[in-house]
Each structure stands twice: as C-alpha cells, then as structure tokens.
Amino acid sequence: MVRRVLDSHCVRLDGKPAVASTVQRKRATFYNALGYAVELELIDSNPVDRVQWTAPEVAQSIDRRVVASPAQVAALLEAVKSLGKRANKVTAFFGCLYYAGMRPSEAADLRRDDCDLSGRCLDCGNDFDDLAAVKPSRSCDHHKIEYRWGRLVLAGTSPRAGSH
C-alpha cells in the first residue's frame, strides 16, 4: 500500500509525470503525516522506512511546440520595438530572457556596468570593446554593427511579488 501511494506521487491528476520537486514535497508530507500517526500511537512505526523506493527520474525534454524559434523571437522583438519610448528597455528585457536564458528578476536587475559588449562597425571597420561608449564620428555614424560574444555578470536579482 505504501509503495502504491509513493508511486501515485509521481503522476499529476491529468496523468502526466510530476516534476521532481513536487514528488519530493508530496513524499515528505506523506512521511510526516505517518510520523505524526506514530507520535499519536495510532501505528507502531513509520511504514515508509520499511519500503525501498526512489522517485523515477523525469525526462528533461523540451516541448518544441511551446518554445519560440529564433525566427519567431526575432519577429517578436521587432514588433516590440514599435511600442514607443519604452521599447528599448522592453526589447532588451525580452532579449535577455530568450538569448541569455535569464529569469525575469535577473533581467530586471541587469545594469549597464554588468555588461561587457563588443563589436565591429561594418562601415568603417573599427573594433569596439565597449559598444555603449561608441559615439558617431565625423567619418562614420556606426549604424551597422557586427556584434560579438559578450558577457553579462549577474550580480543579483530583484524578485518582486505583485499585488495580484
């Protein structure tokens, strides 16, 4: 009976596999409830201790139907740019979520000093170590930039709970 209960923790109500953290939480709750029954002397010992059971590993696969493709993300970010004054911040925010795999609180706390961004101007061929410091010169406006790999230092996060 204990083994059946533990196995049932691995399945959601819709029949799909449960997340590993959910299985651990449910097992801990079950174990503690039986421990309380031992404390109240309703049973002699915790039956979970007598069962050798490990939670099955959950396959770590990504459902491609719910993840945007690079072309879709590029189109979405282009659409976001048309929002007006806040478009640059919103575009950078969602770009960090997708391309850098950041959590929303990490992207919200990212500051310019945390970014090492380099690139090369395709018009004049100049290399830049810090693209934020690039100013137009007399000979080139530096509009066509070839971006290179950069580094984002995640010094902290700003998690906020909404009123909703």
35 three-state secondary structure: helix
Cα separation, 163 vs 140, whole angstroms = 49
The pTM for the full model equals: 0.52
Place of tokens 């700003």: 158
How far apart, in whole angstroms, are the C-alpha atoms of residue 149 and residue 145? 13
What's the CA gap between 158 and 109, in Å, rounded?
6
Instruction: Note the maximum CA span of the chain.
Output: 87
Round to whole Å and give the CA distance between 61 and 16: 14
pLDDT tens by residue, 24-57: 899 999 999 999 999 999 999 999 999 999 887 7
Tens-digit pLDDT profile for the chain (164 aa)?
A: 999 999 999 998 898 888 888 898 999 999 999 999 999 999 999 999 999 998 877 666 667 777 888 899 999 998 888 888 788 888 888 999 998 888 888 888 888 888 888 889 898 888 888 887 778 888 888 888 888 888 888 876 666 666 65
- Residue count (the chain): 164
